Amino acid sequence: SPQSHLDGKHTVFGKVVNGADVVDEIRQGDKMEKVEVSELES
């Protein structure tokens, strides 16, 4: 869905396929220690 308040400020893309409980724990100011990008078969 459109999120106009993010326009020009943030890049948001992707889909959480595992670990949604971890996403719920993210707070403003937290820093990512590791990022893994995977291509999924369609």
pLDDT in tens, the chain (42 residues): 788 887 888 776 778 888 889 888 989 999 989 888 888 787
Global pTM reads 0.40
Structure token pair of residue 20:
């949604």
> What is the Cα–Cα distance from 11 to 8, expressed in whole angstroms?
8
Tokens 């403003």 correspond to what residue?
A: 28
Query: Are 34 and 28 contacting, i.e. CB atoms less than 8 angstroms apart?
Result: no
Quote the pLDDT of residue 12.
67
Instruction: Report pLDDT for 21.
Output: 92
Q: Which of 32, 31, 36 is nearest to 16 (CA)?
A: 36
